[in-house]
Structure 1
Amino acid sequence: MKFSNKIKWIASILLVFLIVLSTNLIDRANFNRINGAVTTIYEDRMVATAILMDMVIHIKDKEVALLSSDTVYSNKENKAINKAIASNMEAFKKTKLTDGEQIVFDNLEGKINELIQLERNHGIAKEVILQKTAVIVEKLQELSEIQLKEGKQQMLISNNAMKIINWFTKGEIIFLILIAILLQVIIFYKPVKAYEDSH
């Protein structure tokens, strides 16, 4: 094998290696985007939704106890519910919040603190407390809607990354076929000597 043929072989192999490496790096970046989107959907959206639902249950427990004038519902039970709500609030803070979500959450936190202050004042009418709980439930619903919207956004990111991966995969196949044809031409092409050399 001539030295020039060896160089052609080495160049061809290096070219294929670089192509495979570059497409692998692109695929890896897209897989990381998909993984990040799925993780965000679970950790920051599904967990947050579960926390919000738990908080709605606690607020509804307060409303039921207040409406039924439940004498069994003691101050101790109310403190336990308030503690559970505070724990939920802390857990929710640890999720990744968007700017809009942070504003609604801060507002919710203020409303919950106002509710706790109202509950401590035994002379406050039930209607005032019920109005406050209704506002809190509205804020929880607003946060829940944000969870759905952000979850859809993350799914869109994931789907777009999958489309890019599929596009690159098809492109890789076409490109590798073209490279294989080009390599065949480079390796097996024998230049025709000039007309003068043959005379």
Structure 2
Amino acid sequence: MAFYDKIKWVLGILIIFVLIVTTNLIDRNNFLRVRDSVATVYEDRLVANDLIFEITRAVHQKELAAVEADSLFFLERNGQANTAITEWVTKFGQTKLTPEEAGVFASLKGNLEALKDSETTYVQAGFTQNQELLAHLSRARENLYKLSKIQLQEGGRQIGISKKAIDSVELFTQIEIYFLIFLAIVIQVIVIYQPRKRGPA
């Protein structure tokens, strides 16, 4: 095999190698984006939404007890409800929060602390003055509603990131296939092509 032919082969193989490495790096990057997006949807959105649901349910029980002047709830079960809410709030704080979400979450924590104080006042008043308690419960419910909507929006945004990454992988895969076909044709031409030898002048 002539030296010139060896160079042609080496160049052809190097081009294919560079193409494969480049597309693999791009595919790897897109795969990581999809993986991170799926993990975020589960850890920071579905789990967070479940925590919001649990806190909302506990707040609703408190609201029902306040409306019905259920002294038994506030004397026997409210402490357990507050402990559970504190745990759920702590877990929620450990998820990845957007700036908007962090603001609403800070407001929720403030309202829940104020709620505890108003519950103490309500019990000390003999379960007769529930206006302040109901106001804090209403504000907490509003915070929880906003947080729930944010989970939906952010979940949709992460799914959009995944979809773009997957579309990008599909596009680069198609480009890679077409380019490999083109290279195969070029290499075949280079290998098969034999320049005509000029006859004697």
- Is TM > 0.5 for Structure 1 vs Structure 2? yes
> Where does residue 53 of structure 1 map in the other structure?
53
Which contiguous aligned blocks of 4+ residues in structure 1 show a shift greater than 3 angstroms?
none
Matches within 5 A, 1:130-149: 130-149=134-153
Deviates more, 1:184-193 or 1:15-24: 184-193
TM-score, scaled relative to structure 1: 0.94
Q: Deviations over 1:69-125 (max 9, x none)?
A: 223314342111111111111000000000010001001110000000111112272
SS of residue in 1 equivalent to 2:73: coil
> Where does residue 108 of structure 1 map in the other structure?
108
Q: Deviations over 1:31-90 (max 9, x none)?
A: 110111111001000000000000001001111222222233143421111111111110
- Letter of the structure 1 residue corresponding to residue 75 of structure 2: N
SS of residue in 2 equivalent to 1:73: helix
Quote the offset at 1:198 in angstroms.
3.3
Quote the offset at 1:135 in angstroms.
1.1
- Letter of the structure 2 residue corresponding to residue 48 of structure 1: A
Q: Give ranges in structure 2 of 5+ residues lacking alignment.
A: none
TM-score, scaled relative to structure 2: 0.93
> Where does residue 64 of structure 2 map in the other structure?
64
Deviates more, 1:167-176 or 1:63-72: 63-72
> Where does residue 200 of structure 2 map in the other structure?
198
- Letter of the structure 2 residue corresponding to residue 125 of structure 1: Q
CA RMSD of aligned residues (A): 1.4
> Where does residue 157 of structure 1 map in the other structure?
161
- Letter of the structure 1 residue corresponding to residue 161 of structure 2: I
> Where does residue 36 of structure 1 map in the other structure?
36
- In structure 2, what is the Cα distance between the partners aligned to 1:193 and 1:110? 90
1:3 aligns with 2:15: no
Q: Deviations over 1:135-159 (max 9, x none)?
A: 1101100000000000110011111
Matches within 5 A, 1:12-23: 12-23=12-23
1:170 aligns with 2:174: yes
- In structure 2, what is the Cα distance between the partners aligned to 1:37 and 1:164? 15
> Where does residue 79 of structure 1 map in the other structure?
79
- In structure 1, what is the Cα distance between the partners aligned to 2:187 and 2:31? 30
Aligned residues: 197
